[in-house]
Amino acid sequence: MLQPLKGITVLEFSQYLAGPYAGLRLADLGARVIKVERPGSGDACRSLATKDLWVDGDSLLFHTINRNKESFCANLKSAEDLEQVRKLIQQADVMTHNFRPGVMEKIGLDFDSVRAINPTIVYGQVSGYGDTGPWAHKPGQDLLAQAVSGVGWLSGNADQGPVPLGLAIADMLCGTHLAQGILAALVRRQKKNIGAKVEVSLLESMVDFQFEGLTTYLNNGRQMPSRSEVANAHAFLGAPYGIYETRDQWIAISMGSLETLSNALECPALNVADEQAFAQRDALKKMLAERLKSNTTDYWLARMEAHKLWASEVLDYDQLLQHPAFKAVAMPLQVQRQNSAGENVTVTTTRCPIRINGQPFVSPKAAPALGADTARILEALA
Q: What is the CATH number of the domain that holds 283?
A: 3.30.1540.10
* Arithmetic mean of pLDDT, 39-61: 93
Report the mean per-residue pLDDT for the chain. 96
331-370: pLDDT as tens digits: 999 999 999 889 999 999 999 999 999 999 999 999 999 9
Q: Which of 254, 56, 238, 65 is nearest to 167 (CA)?
A: 65
Q: Which of 371, 308, 359 is nearest to 28 (CA)?
A: 359
When divided into structural domains, the chain yields a total of: 2
Buried b (16+ CB within 10 A) or exposed e, 92-117: bbbbbbbbebeebeebebbbeebbeb
The answer to whether residue 179 scores a pLDDT higher than 70 is: yes
Does residue 227 form part of some domain? Answer: no
127-151: pLDDT as tens digits: 999 999 999 999 999 999 999 999 9
Q: Let me know whether 42 and 176 are in one domain.
A: yes
Q: What is the CATH number of the domain that holds 28?
A: 3.40.50.10540
Are 116 and 90 a contacting pair, CB within 8 Å?
A: no
Q: Let me know whether 160 and 68 are in one domain.
A: yes
Q: Which of 361, 330, 365 is nearest to 6 (CA)?
A: 361
Does residue 113 form part of some domain? Answer: yes
Does residue 266 form part of some domain? Answer: yes
Q: Let me know whether 254 and 344 are in one domain.
A: no
Q: How far apart (Å, rounded) are the C-alpha atoms in residues 75 and 81?
A: 6
286-295: pLDDT as tens digits: 999 999 999 9
Ramachandran angles phi, psi of 64, nearest 5°: -65, -30
Task: Work out the pLDDT band at 256, boundaries 50, 70, 90.
Answer: confident
The answer to whether residue 382 scores a pLDDT higher than 90 is: no
**pLDDT confidence of residue 147:** 97
The answer to whether residue 1 scores a pLDDT higher than 70 is: no
**pLDDT confidence of residue 49:** 86
- Domain extent, residue 170, equals 9-208+330-381
CA 277 to chain centre: 33
Within 8 A by CB and 6+ apart from 52, the residues are none
Half-sphere exposure of 197 (CA within 13 A, CB side): 10
* Arithmetic mean of pLDDT, 63-82: 97
The answer, as to whether pTM is greater than 0.85, is yes
What is the percent of the chain with per-residue pLDDT over 90, rounded to a whole number?
97
200-215: pLDDT as tens digits: 999 999 999 999 999 9
Active site residues: 171
Mark which of 321, 349, 368 sits at the end of a domain. 321
Within 8 A by CB and 6+ apart from 193, the residues are 120
Q: Rg of the chain's alpha carbons, rounded to an integer?
A: 25
Query: Nearest 5 degrees, angle CA 52-CA 57-CA 60?
Result: 45
| Alpha-carbon distance values, 270 to 173, 257, 284, 287, 288 (Å) | 38, 10, 6, 7, 8
The answer to whether residue 262 scores a pLDDT higher than 90 is: yes
The answer to whether residue 244 scores a pLDDT higher than 80 is: yes
